[in-house]
């Protein structure tokens, strides 16, 4: 095992010893360090918020950035708990999902038996969905981007699959299995809210700004026109988490790639509006935008 993987796994194991509230207190410390050190994550967070909420004052943006960093810190600190280690710890995680909103949308879609494509985003703690989605889904399969640290990836896969999610990598063979699972009337989960390569993306608006958006979702929808597309996210609450399902925009089923991609982004915007500070604003979502928004950061 390489030294980076060893350090990362050690940190995760230590974080796994925290209670959820303890992890969140540590998350507040992480946020303070990120802010006081004027880190790149802090600067990117402020830049993104200024781009998508241009009507807000400097003071309002600063307050939002601090809150957003707090949720980023919480997501990092909660990871060790979210990945769990034993069946008992996974059951404890499930108990922390204290509310499920619009669960009927998933139930109806599963009962229809035509396949359910769940689009999640980097909001709240997406890792916690492993504690709540598998038992509500039909042969749930998730598509993931391969990590740069093999040992860390192995640990992540074992943790997610222990919850009942079949994980496949974003390779040609993995994508083929993912599509087949959806075609077969089963449930699929993917987080397509981050920037793809130029070749794999199409330009569409996200919060009014041109953003490269994955083409793959449109391909999936076209592969299984009878399937149902839902948005799903895990919102952080004081006492735990709330699992939320929402309808995808009708235009996501459109034959036109740009129309479909724009509808997906519009659906994500509505999810973010539930609590904007819980979205991962420290990610360079508009990195390939011709305006070069992050050039001086």
The pLDDT value recorded for residue 13 is 82
In the chain, where the domains are located: 3-278
The pLDDT value recorded for residue 147 is 67
> How many CA atoms does the CB half-sphere of 133 hold within 13 Å?
32
**Could you report the per-residue pLDDT of 224-247, keeping only the tens digit for each?**
999 999 999 999 999 999 999 999
CA distances from 15 to 29, 161, 212, 242 (A): 13, 20, 34, 22
**Could you report the per-residue pLDDT of 199-229, keeping only the tens digit for each?**
999 999 999 999 999 999 999 999 999 999 9
Residue, of 147 and 121, whose pLDDT is higher:
121
The pLDDT value recorded for residue 10 is 84
Q: From CA 158, how far away is CA 53, in angstroms rounded?
A: 39
For the chain, the average pLDDT equals: 93
Chain centroid to CA 134: 16
The pLDDT value recorded for residue 163 is 80
Contacts (Cβ under 8 Å, ≥6 apart) of 37: none
Helix, strand, coil proportions of the chain in percent (round to 5)?
50, 20, 30
Q: Does 1 score more than 70 pLDDT?
A: no
Q: From CA 156, how far away is CA 84, in angstroms rounded?
A: 10
Q: Does 136 score more than 70 pLDDT?
A: yes
Sign (positive or negative) of CA dihedral 133, 137, 138, 144: negative
Q: Does 158 score more than 90 pLDDT?
A: no
Q: Beta strands 166-169 and 240-247: pairing type?
A: unpaired
Q: From CA 153, how far away is CA 145, in angstroms rounded?
A: 10
The pLDDT value recorded for residue 270 is 98
Order of strands across the sheet that contains 166-169: 97-101, 240-247, 228-237, 116-119, 187-190, 141-144, 166-169
The pLDDT value recorded for residue 154 is 74
The pLDDT value recorded for residue 88 is 76
Task: Extract the runs of DSSP E, i.e. beta strands, from 106-186.
Answer: 116-119, 141-144, 166-169
């Amino acid at each position: 095992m390489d030294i980076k993987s060893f350090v990362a796994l050690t940190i995760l194991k230590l974080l796994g010893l925290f209670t959820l509230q303890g992890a969140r207190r540590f998350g507040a410390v992480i946020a303070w360090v990120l802010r006081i050190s004027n880190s790149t994550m802090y600067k990117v967070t402020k830049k993104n918020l200024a781009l998508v909420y241009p009507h807000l004052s400097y003071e309002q943006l600063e307050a939002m950035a601090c809150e957003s960093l707090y949720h980023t810190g919480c997501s990092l600190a909660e990871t060790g708990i979210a990945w769990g280690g034993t069946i008992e710890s996974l059951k404890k995680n499930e108990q922390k999902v204290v509310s499920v909103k619009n669960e009927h949308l998933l139930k109806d879609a599963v009962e229809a038996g035509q396949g359910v494509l769940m689009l999640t985003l980097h909001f709240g703690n997406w890792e916690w969905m492993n504690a709540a989605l598998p038992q509500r889904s039909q042969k749930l399969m998730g598509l993931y981007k391969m990590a740069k640290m093999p040992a860390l990836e192995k640990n992540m896969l074992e943790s997610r699959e222990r919850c009942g999610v079949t994980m496949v990598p974003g390779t040609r063979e993995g994508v083929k299995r993912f599509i087949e699972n959806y075609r077969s009337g089963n449930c699929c989960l993917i987080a397509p809210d981050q920037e793809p390569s130029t070749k794999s993306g199409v330009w569409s608006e996200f919060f009014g700004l041109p953003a490269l958006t994955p083409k793959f979702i449109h391909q999936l929808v076209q592969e299984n026109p009878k399937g149902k597309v839902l948005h799903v996210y895990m919102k952080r609450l004081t006492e735990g988490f709330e699992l939320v399902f929402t309808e995808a925009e009708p235009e996501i089923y459109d034959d036109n790639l740009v129309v479909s991609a724009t509808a997906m982004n519009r659906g994500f915007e509505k999810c973010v509006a539930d609590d904007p500070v819980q979205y991962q604003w420290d990610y360079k979502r508009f990195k390939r935008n011709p305006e070069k928004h992050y050039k001086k950061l």
